[in-house]
Structure 1
């Protein structure tokens, strides 16, 4: 059991952390029929496209600052109760606008929930603004410009999420330059639905400190060696990978092979209720299927803290809590 292990998470989409019970409460609040995407307290989807549709539908149930404060506090409380000391959440101004909320109000709401969770449960957290890849290069650049204004003190990074099959990585390079020039740390989703070329393109065109997923790099040994040599951290989400059929089972997952090759890895839940997982379950998976003992799991947490988008004083404080 890993309950006593200090945990940290770098890769979770906050709208993807909406548990069905909370979605149902929000649906009752706004009079929305959720039967098309939630049945028997489970999200209904069967491929990546329908997953995105269910995700967007759930996100649409959050429409004001207090809704988002409740979402952030609820998720961070769950993490803290599982032993997490740190969390980074992906936040999407495009989803805020879709819900009719100004991005600044969206961040203020999330930030309020994060502050409440820190005060009540001792969990530190930060926000990473993401552009949505399948919305196009202009939309991602717009998200980067917004992020670069540093609209909330808890915004410390910029990334890109969405459908990896949409567009070329090079199409989005300007957006990442805007964010980097704004002093934000950089991550990008790559090597999940698409193969090793996706990871290579991210390294070549974006130069990220971290890569979300990145597991398809295993298809190219030279690329794996490059990741190890550069010290690029992968935000690995095993439960998500299995749910989306990136790999057929945990025995086929490359976590162990990547670790043995010297790649720096972290454990993350991605969109936990959609994939029937949690950060606690990801640590259990690493113990049961990847053979990580308690010391190895703590080393994973240390890697996450070392790669976290925080100031050095916060990092040092977090390291003492592992």
Structure 2
């Protein structure tokens, strides 16, 4: 005589008799506790250490000269970013060209401007008048119009020129890598559809290339924003230079450096938000359903 288990007599699956024990992660909780303790200590130091001098920080954060310097930083960043990426497009085309002359020139430009430190480039362009008193526009080796170099390129122009040429070298490689990331089959399929070459590029190749270009381009833009602090060597009144001027007068070094730091953090956060939504826009062809935005996740959490 056989004895049947309760699961067989009732028809229920045998798995119902098992006891499910949740997995325990003691080291995860220990690590979380340690991180929270360190963060609490850091926050306590920020609040209680008089060396931070938050009163001075608050007084100068929106001070007129600091805001004006911030606008100069934004002008340099926006101008160099636009001109740099416009210069990177022909550089990428030259690197991808079948012409050995164009390929060599594009490679040489990229090699030189990626090799020389940005600070050296800025100082070189600021002293361009030492090499060339006048610049001439016209027929090569013939007549034309000439301009005094110092009148044409001032400190701001030298900074913008140096940042732009430096940016173009990196932007060209980013764009070239994005175009090469598109599978060759996509080019063949677009040609098989009989589309004109410009429509093949704009409608099929470029949207796919942008998914590879955008993350690197955003990193380059953030790096450019921080690199504008180097132009202080040309005595241009951007954010970091103005902060130096202020703490040179009152001796409050740390709170004034925190003013510049917080502004750089805010601008980087805004660029990161812009990057997120632009990448989300170009991801429409890669995924069937777009992931929810942070605001959509917050709304869903509130509803739950």
TM-score, normalization: structure 1?
0.22
- Larger helix share, 1 or 2: 2
TM-score by length of 2: 0.23
Larger relative CO (CA 8 A, sep 6+): 1 or 2?
2
